[in-house]
Structure 1
């Protein structure tokens, strides 16, 4: 019997040559950095990886931080292209392995904010745990709710609470306990409160007479075990366009604590 050939190590992708403007742009997104991790506040419209025809994704822009002879920082998780907010990277292989294991163990706590219509969900706080399944239509992928016994069903659980509401819309805080694609978007649509600007899942394009220019979903905070020990929590300020809509439709009263903050223990 011939001896088995050991699998080849996965080669690092070739470095991407960035313009000075691209380097300055991605460096401006950094909201926290130490020797092992780096967090960025990703803007809406920038794909994390594998963007649809984009010149550069965030993953490619991370070459701006590569040191001579060393790999670039690695993304630990993703955000949808149109979702803004905190995204975490590891600067070393041990840190990437450490964080990857804790992500699989669901020890990363994600907090999102979303504007939904036509008002507060009923009840105002609760849990959505409808299973989801993936469906592909042409080149587009969607997630759909389904029965638990569906052959393609994936367990999904999202906690939510209402921060502010009126007859037209509501500002929600969300904590997904699982990480399915488009999970928050589909779960909110399934309870009759789609996210404003979410064309794919039935979100309103106008809220109280004001336009929703894009998906109004923001990854506001991320808490995680730090490779160096203890827990770290990183927050990202709500983007100007989303904050402007919150204020225009009268949901700013209880929207406190949205500013940038970094803490750890």
Structure 2
């Protein structure tokens, strides 16, 4: 006989916090607008994460929703969790087989492209530096290199800064961040591939939209509005054609 797992304690404040992040919910999934700074998983000194806070939705048997994809801690925006194990398997396959459509918005600085849109096609490989994993653009034939493609479009620009829309075709670690740095315009606030807090108080990358099929065959479209800081920095850096998207 299987006994129910005990449900870990969670404060009423954390329950309210998690419920306040919900932007979508159906039989299969819950969609959240994750704030920048909230890690997706525990580990390496992290004991408060989106995953650990999912206990707010635990059933009486202790089972709680399951992660099916990731966002970097500094990235804000749309992230989903599956309500059941079958749904988790389905959604994990959707991401693995690249059948989802993901849209991000980033604020960058540096060598702003003269073109309005394009595709970055640069393979990536993971390396360890100072005990921390990071990605680098790989030379042809390098062992462990993985293909990586990111579509981009300039939404608003000045001579030194731009607001860009990104559409990753693959899902490598830090893909958008390293690709934009490779393009010559790293994301503001990026502590690994850019200038960190010198340029912005947070990583200026936001997962604005996710389109994913549900087990029923119906596509779910989840959207999260840009945080206010994007508008504030757009104005500060002279992006006069910024419209708030």
Instruction: Please report the TM-score for the alignment, with normalisation by the length of structure 2.
Output: 0.92
1:215 aligns with 2:215: no
Residue 140 of structure 2: SS of its match in structure 1? coil
Distance 2:102 2:39 in 1: 19
Number of residues paired by the alignment? 242
**Per-residue deviation at 1:72?**
0.6
**Per-residue deviation at 1:246?**
2.0
Deviations along 1:18-56, one digit per CA (max 9) or x if unpaired, are 111111111111111112111001111111113442331
Residue 200 of structure 1: SS of its match in structure 2? coil
Q: Structure 1 regions of 5+ residues with no counterpart?
A: 1-11, 258-265
Aligned to 2:15: 23
User: Which of these residues, 58, 69, 73, is aligned with residue 66 of structure 1?
Assistant: 58
Aligned to 1:34: 26
1:245 aligns with 2:237: no
Mapping of residues 173-252 of structure 1, within 5 Å: 173-203=165-195, 205-206=197-198, 212-251=200-239
Distance 2:124 2:28 in 1: 34
Deviations along 1:87-133, one digit per CA (max 9) or x if unpaired, are 01110112111111111110111100000113532433111111101
Residue 155 of structure 2: SS of its match in structure 1? strand
Distance 2:157 2:8 in 1: 45
Distance 1:29 1:205 in 2: 25
Aligned to 1:159: 151
**Per-residue deviation at 1:249?**
2.1
Aligned to 2:140: 148
Instruction: Please report the TM-score for the alignment, with normalisation by the length of structure 1.
Output: 0.85
Deviations along 1:123-144, one digit per CA (max 9) or x if unpaired, are 3311111110101123211100
**Per-residue deviation at 1:243?**
2.7
Mapping of residues 115-130 of structure 1, within 5 Å: 115-118=107-110, 120-130=112-122
Q: Structure 2 regions of 5+ residues with no counterpart?
A: none
User: Which of these residues, 81, 85, 99, is aligned with residue 107 of structure 1?
Assistant: 99
User: Which of these residues, 32, 40, 49, is aligned with residue 48 of structure 1?
Assistant: 40
Change (3 A) 1:123 1:204: farther
**Per-residue deviation at 1:239?**
1.3
**Per-residue deviation at 1:242?**
2.5
Residue 53 of structure 1: SS of its match in structure 2? coil
